Structure 1
Amino acid sequence: MRYNQRGVALVAALVGILACAPADEPSPANGHQVSDHRAGAPGIGDTDFPKDGNGGYDVGHYAIAIDYTPAGRRLVGVTTVTATATQGLSSFNLDLAGFDVSAVTVNNAPATFSRNGDELTVRPARPVDNGARFTVKVSYSGVPTPRSGTTLGTYGFIPTPDGAFVAAEPNGAKTWFPANDHPADKAPFDFTITVPAGVTALANGEMVGQPTTAGGKTTYRWRERYPMATYLATATLGKFDLRQGRTPGGIPNLAATDPRFRSALDGLYTTSGTLTDHWATVFGPYPFGSTGGVVDDFAAGYALENQTKPLYGGFHPGENIIAHELAHQWFGNSLSITRWKDLWLNEGFATYAEWLWAEHKGTRTAEAAFRELHNRPATAPIWKYPPGRARPDDLFNQSVYSRGAATLHALRKAVGDQTFFALLKKWAADHRYGHVTTDQFIELAEQMSGKELSALFDAWLFQPRRPA
């Protein structure tokens, strides 16, 4: 995530609402054998977050339609998920926190469903065969309940006086739409967002057509055509000043600021464009259709790299923070982690991008930043937290960021600049729009350098002590 201004946090809370009937066992009706179909798992298999995501299917597309009224904080939604079964399914789960679910259909036929905490269990009228493509449509309504705690702050769909601040990492997508809420399952998105006239709706990707207004409400349509993790999806709503155009390199660029931060608009627009183009020379071609950023007046104290539209919560972002969030468009967004334990592949890379930007600007070398970190006392807390295995109860520890960045600089020193920067481009190209693990990165680094690097990575990523 996130570039933290202050500490951040996690706790779930939300109630299940009973609808039709529980659905765990397949029906022998419809000519299907019981053994051919079974319930999809209630988690995707991440042991650190066992109930996040779901098993038994792979999402191919999300179509999210919401009507949101800031005055009453009421959201009415219809989300259609298109997926492919990876096993025969008698039932399957979606992640959804809160809300009243009024109806669920699978392939346009009414389905029974039940709630248990954040799990929405759906039983289709006819079991879904392994390999079959299917659509599930969920109609729901209520007041979104964001998540909060002591280490992640407040996240998810966060109502504000004039709209909503939507930053969902790590598992807050379920606070506003039913999803396979884990980065291991990415998909393109379409958004249809209806708000009171005068409110602007910003989502990922690019706007489809012009907003339409009728009956005192305006509807915006956005499309992110590239695969996206659910935690990167946003529907940030409110009063905004906009500046639109293209980066010097020709990439569509949109900056938006709450009126309170109007003075940041031009700087956000210009810096976002400059950095997007610069990172394209360092990391390889920009992976998405547009760039930019949004500054809202919600005092989140952090920024989040929402795909194509990084979100800055209640502060004027400096160049280093913008550099961090835009580097995530490559590392975290295009290349997504398979499991949260490998979060340093997102945050260490984006933090090292800050060091590289300062080096490019001539304000401080990456070596100076590395030495400043390495000179911390051996008793400093950062050395007790090995960043190669992020902890679920302290996911965004500073070690994941800074010691992760130092790992990359230690690698750069070991293999030389030519190999190191070629490695960054190949890493980004080989896994474009896909998923990555720490083992894959180590393997590529050894392959490209011709060196045995296990001791270096072990010392920097996995040992609870300061590396020599």
Structure 2
Amino acid sequence: MLRSQLTLILGLLLGTCGSAQDFWKDHSFTEADTLRGMLNPARANFDVTYYELHLDVDPVERLIDGRVEMDYTVTGELPLLQLDLYQNLEIDGIEQAGQDLRFTRRGNAVFVELPRPAEIGSRHRMTIYYGGTPTEAHNAPWDGGFVWALDQKNRYWVGVACEGDGASLWWPNKDHLSDEPDSMLISVTVPERLSVASNGNLRAEEELEDERKRRFDWFVSYPINNYNVSLGIGHYVHFDTTYRSFDGEELALDYYVIDYNIEKARKQFREVHPMLEAYEHYFGKYPFWEDGFALIEVPYLGMEHQSGIAYGNRYMRGYLGGLIPSDMDWDYIIVHETGHEYFGNSISVADHAEMWVHESFTTYMEALYVEYHFGEAAARRYLKSQLRFVTNAEPMLGPLHVNFTDFASSDHYYKGAWMLHTLRGVLNDDPLFFGLLRSFYQDHERSIVSTQEVIDYFSRFTERDLQPFFNQYLKYPNLPVLELRRSGDQLEYRLAADVAGLSMPLGVYIGEEAVRLLTTAEWQPMGRGIDPDEVRVDQERFLVDLRVVNEQR
């Protein structure tokens, strides 16, 4: 049965490898991409509700050994169940209800044959035993895997990051963004002088004297993306404080830093309170309240690990001392990665192709942080500093169902933030715009959304058809263009775009006079005696190109 079911699944996958967008049609995808990216029946027909990860980490030999206990509910016909684990890690056995289960591996996919047909709605626990040498990251967090490092005192310091590459590079799971467990236990054993910091709350710490080891049990009480599960191992010290929300409720703030950095951390992490205040103002309270907020010092730049944010910015302003305008003084990693607690961890997508939802909103949150504390003019200046990273080289929306992570630019960060800022300019109504952001977030808190759901919600809330607007910015690399031409002594304008029917109000300057135009695909008169060189787009509010065309009438 295992062979026939596997053949059927692979046939379904190979028949669906095409890209929906013309831009990506020449991009090559493999069977492995589709096995990771698509919800075939062996993945779609069960829902994971809980994981227990039990892991022994040996930083000397750079080995891991462990087991995963997975609770799941059957939602459809399921003779064969697909898990994911990188093929460089060995599986020692898979059990369910006291029975050893047969399995076969195809690349990083693991197909498990269930002993008997499972009734829809039935619940089960499966245990997977595994171990080996995990993938090592050479440029974390962009290159996923374990980071085996030494601190300044030549002591072991370990971290792991795996967004894009997938959590299956270090523990077996259903590695698809659409299925988040409702909760999770992370139990990690390390040599006795080391400590472990992870997601959620520390439930227990135990000395294993016979083995000269220590075990740390961490528990996450909210749904969590698999790639957000992480750990830091090192000579940590812990300090804590609280943040008081607008309604008076207190949030626990926990910080785990390498012992010799504690004074630097006490000073740098003071930024957390004003940041949380700004985000609460715009979107509401921190979304994982019961698990608390934490920063964990790691031997790489950082990552938005839920309720245990990885921090490696070396206690510097900006991004390792740069990136933000020189007169601004705040920690980019703290501000950006915490933004992901709202967009990325609380609101998530089901496909890496739609990562613009995570990154565009979070990047715009950086500007909102600046606006809240330093004013709108400072926020516009901060946004303008990001324009140098906008390439317009590719669409921000990638091809679906193929685990696409090969964006060649950061446009889904910076262009995406500017898309949202341009929408603010189009609406020209800040109470409406900020009400939209807050309502969208609160109506979708701790849920999975699609691009289309975002567009539909924004259109309903604003009572405008925003589909053409989002189609242009998300599905095409080109910006809309305000075109100008002379017609006798008249200057005319129109909006040129890839999307038919795109029209948008647009702020421009004619000389020093601010004018608001309703641009469409049709030529319209701007005025007589106007030189095209006098016209410029309001570049503080709109991401739109300007072009003079040589057409005379």
What TM-score do the two structures reach when normalised by structure 1? 0.83
Partner residue in 2 for 1:463:
476
1:189 to 184, 188, 193: 184
Q: Which amino acid aligns with 1:23?
A: L
* Closer/same/farther in 2, CA of residues 24 and 407 from structure 1, 3 Å limit: same
Q: Distance in 2 between matches of 1:314 and 1:362?
A: 23
Partner residue in 2 for 1:274:
274
Larger RCO (CA under 8 A, 6+ residues apart): 1
Q: Distance in 2 between matches of 1:192 and 1:264?
A: 29
* Closer/same/farther in 2, CA of residues 389 and 191 from structure 1, 3 Å limit: same
Partner residue in 1 for 2:120:
130
2:451 to 402, 423, 438: 438
Q: Distance in 1 between matches of 2:13 and 2:293?
A: 35
Q: Is the 8 A contact 1:232 1:305 kept in 2?
A: yes
Partner residue in 2 for 1:51:
35
Q: Deviations over 1:50-107 (max 9, x none)?
A: 2226433111111000111211112110101111122222221111112221121023
Larger of the two Rg values belongs to structure: 2
Matches within 5 A, 1:341-360: 341-360=353-372
**Counterpart of 1:89 in 2: which secondary structure?**
coil
**Counterpart of 1:439 in 2: which secondary structure?**
helix
Partner residue in 2 for 1:222:
218
2:396 to 387, 392, 417: 387
Q: Distance in 2 between matches of 1:41 and 1:246?
A: 52
**Counterpart of 2:432 in 1: which secondary structure?**
helix
Partner residue in 2 for 1:251:
251
Q: Distance in 2 between matches of 1:152 and 1:306?
A: 11
Partner residue in 1 for 2:22:
none
Partner residue in 2 for 1:155:
144
2:93 to 83, 96, 103: 103
Matches within 5 A, 1:227-246: 227-246=223-242
Partner residue in 2 for 1:6:
none
Q: Which runs of 5+ in 1 are unaligned?
A: 1-21, 27-36
Q: Which amino acid aligns with 2:133?
A: V
1:412 aligns with 2:442: no
Q: Distance in 2 between matches of 1:463 and 1:155?
A: 29
Q: Deviations over 1:101-157 (max 9, x none)?
A: 1121023321112222211221122232333211110111212123568x9743133
1:165 aligns with 2:155: no
Q: Which amino acid aligns with 2:338?
A: L
How far off its partner does 1:178 sit? 0.3
Q: Which amino acid aligns with 2:368?
A: L
1:423 aligns with 2:413: no
Q: Is the 8 A contact 2:136 2:146 kept in 1?
A: yes
Matches within 5 A, 1:328-347: 328-347=340-359
Q: Distance in 2 between matches of 1:242 and 1:303?
A: 18
**Counterpart of 1:115 in 2: which secondary structure?**
strand
* Closer/same/farther in 2, CA of residues 439 and 118 from structure 1, 3 Å limit: same
Q: Is the 8 A contact 1:174 1:181 kept in 2?
A: yes
**Counterpart of 1:102 in 2: which secondary structure?**
strand
Q: Which amino acid aligns with 1:224?
A: V
* Closer/same/farther in 2, CA of residues 308 and 396 from structure 1, 3 Å limit: farther
**Counterpart of 2:34 in 1: which secondary structure?**
coil
Q: Which runs of 5+ in 2 are unaligned?
A: 20-28, 38-42, 151-155, 318-330, 481-543, 545-553
Q: Distance in 2 between matches of 1:77 and 1:373?
A: 43
Q: Which amino acid aligns with 1:385?
A: E
Q: Is the 8 A contact 2:278 2:372 kept in 1?
A: no
Q: Distance in 2 between matches of 1:235 and 1:79?
A: 16
Q: Is the 8 A contact 2:69 2:126 kept in 1?
A: yes
How far off its partner does 1:369 sit? 3.8
Partner residue in 1 for 2:131:
141
**Counterpart of 1:328 in 2: which secondary structure?**
helix
Q: Is the 8 A contact 1:104 1:112 kept in 2?
A: yes
2:108 to 97, 118, 125: 118
How far off its partner does 1:384 sit? 2.5
Partner residue in 2 for 1:67:
56
Q: Which amino acid aligns with 2:287?
A: P
Q: Distance in 1 between matches of 2:144 and 2:405?
A: 16
Q: CA RMSD in A?
A: 2.9
Q: Is the 8 A contact 2:202 2:217 kept in 1?
A: yes
Q: Which amino acid aligns with 2:2?
A: A
What TM-score do the two structures reach when normalised by structure 2? 0.71
Q: Distance in 1 between matches of 2:209 and 2:13?
A: 41
How far off its partner does 1:259 sit? 4.2
Where has structure 1 moved over 6 Å in runs of 4 or more?
37-43, 45-48
Q: Which amino acid aligns with 1:66?
A: L
Q: Deviations over 1:332-380 (max 9, x none)?
A: 0011112111111111111111111122231753333444556x6xxx8
Q: Distance in 1 between matches of 2:98 and 2:446?
A: 30
How far off its partner does 1:219 sit? 0.9
Q: Deviations over 1:392-428 (max 9, x none)?
A: 3533722111001001111122222111211122212
**Counterpart of 2:171 in 1: which secondary structure?**
coil
* Closer/same/farther in 2, CA of residues 206 and 268 from structure 1, 3 Å limit: farther
Partner residue in 2 for 1:307:
306
Q: Distance in 1 between matches of 2:12 and 2:78?
A: 10
Q: Distance in 1 between matches of 2:277 and 2:422?
A: 26
